[in-house]
Amino acid sequence: MTGKKNGDITIADYLNTLTVEKGISLNTKEAYGRDLKRFFDYLKEAGKGPKKAAPGDISGFLLKLKRGGLSARSYARTLIAVRGFYRHLLRNNIIKNSPCSYIDVPSFNKKLPRYLSFEEVSGLLQSADTRAKNGLRDKAMLEVLYATGLRVSELVNLRLNDLNLQAGYLKALGKGNKERLVPLGEEAMRWLKRYIEGGRPPALKGGFSPYLFITNRKTRMTRKHFWHLIKRFGQRAGIPAEKIKPHAIRHSFATHLLEGGADLRAVQEMLGHADISTTQIYTHIAAERLKKLHKRHHPRG
């Protein structure tokens, strides 16, 4: 699909360029590929190739999508894919003018991500029983997750050689295989050391694994397995079930940092966001929380 050619135009070439330059995820790459294939098919029905598309073709395609009941988010993503494709053609001198020049991406309300309060995070971190069989592992995973804001997929894929406990940071492999360095903090390092020294060797039973967090079967912890653990710990800490989501701790990490006065660019780097606009949503959360606190505690709130 994404390798379909039309003269000297290749969708795959554009998507590979995005992967290298922007570090887009595999899911985004596949979605853009489907969007562009759909657009190419629309042009083919009109007897045109992409190089011959006019603004009216873009408008007609978008109208067809609207009438087909496409969601606002998918509609916007499709337009972003098509506009980006034509920017790619312009940069490579394949076309002289883009048919998308005067077509804007529609705005739609982004749902603010759910996050946990300081008290809820504290309860969650204390919910792992460090005396239990895998308690040190579970405690270390929770502490690292809140200290770094890693995605759960990044956490479970950590390897031993991704840690530098002496310098106090870890190396995370994010979307688009982009590496970033993230500081750990003293509490996370303390529990990592306890797990590596006292919790990991008994689980390995003399075996070997390059991965940091392992199960009783000496295999890498999976995202699904850890998600079940988070739900259990959330229930134990008395946190409402609807607030416990896979990225809840990541959202809390970002929100709490910004509330504490952290620089937005620094938070962007730690989260591994390619675009700062993705990080800016957390400033809205922090602002909303401050407004509520003002209303609740200020005599004229």
114-168 per-position pLDDT tens digit = 889 999 999 999 999 999 999 999 999 999 999 999 999 999 999 999 999 999 9
Query: Given the DSSP bridges, would you call strands 9-10 and 163-164 parallel, antiparallel or unpaired?
Result: unpaired
Which of 86, 146, 169, 282 is catalytic? The answer is: 282
Which of 88, 137, 151, 245 is catalytic? The answer is: 151
Active site residue 34: no
Rounded CA gap, 48 and 57, in Å?
Answer: 10
Which of 175, 200, 251, 256 is catalytic? The answer is: 175
Which of 223, 247, 284, 289 is catalytic? The answer is: 247
What's the chain's average pLDDT?
85
Average of pLDDT values for 108-118?
73
Active site residue 250: yes
Q: What is the enclosing helix (H) or strand (E) of 181? A: strand 179-183
Active site residue 247: yes
User: What is the model's pLDDT at position 187?
Assistant: 95
- What's the token pair of residue 183? 């500081």
Active site residue 232: no
Q: Is the pLDDT of residue 6 over 50?
A: no
Indicate the DSSP class of residue 211: B
User: What is the model's pLDDT at position 267?
Assistant: 87
Percentage of the chain modeled with pLDDT above 90: 45
Of 48 and 289, the structure prediction assigns the larger pLDDT to 48
- What's the token pair of residue 186? 């003293």
User: What is the model's pLDDT at position 186?
Assistant: 94
Percentage of the chain modeled with pLDDT above 70: 88
The 10s digit of each residue's pLDDT in 21-38 is 777 888 889 999 999 999
Indicate the DSSP class of residue 274: S
Of the pLDDT bands very low, low, confident and very high (cuts 50, 70, 90), residue 105 is: low
Of the pLDDT bands very low, low, confident and very high (cuts 50, 70, 90), residue 289 is: low
What does residue 276 show for φ and ψ, rounded to 5 degrees? -65, -20
SS3 label, residue 163: strand
Q: Is the pLDDT of residue 280 over 50?
A: yes
Q: Which structural domains are found in the chain, ordered by start?
A: 5-91 (1.10.150.130), 118-297 (1.10.443.10)
Active site residue 273: yes
Active site residue 195: no
The 10s digit of each residue's pLDDT in 48-95 is 989 889 888 888 898 888 888 888 778 888 888 998 999 889 888 888
The 10s digit of each residue's pLDDT in 254-269 is 889 888 888 888 888 8
Rounded CA gap, 186 and 183, in Å?
Answer: 10
User: What is the model's pLDDT at position 166?
Assistant: 93
The burial of 269, by beta-carbon neighbours within 10 Å (0-12 exposed, 13-18 middle, 19 or more buried), is given as: middle
Of the pLDDT bands very low, low, confident and very high (cuts 50, 70, 90), residue 190 is: very high
User: What is the model's pLDDT at position 3?
Assistant: 40
- Which residues have C-beta within 8 Å of that of residue 230, sequence separation ≥ 6? 124, 142, 244, 246, 248, 249
Q: Is the pLDDT of residue 4 over 60?
A: no
User: What is the model's pLDDT at position 285?
Assistant: 64
Q: Is the pLDDT of residue 18 over 50?
A: yes
User: What is the model's pLDDT at position 17?
Assistant: 86
What does residue 227 show for φ and ψ, rounded to 5 degrees? -60, -40
Q: Is the pLDDT of residue 107 over 80?
A: no
SS3 label, residue 255: helix
Residue located via tokens 């009783």: 216
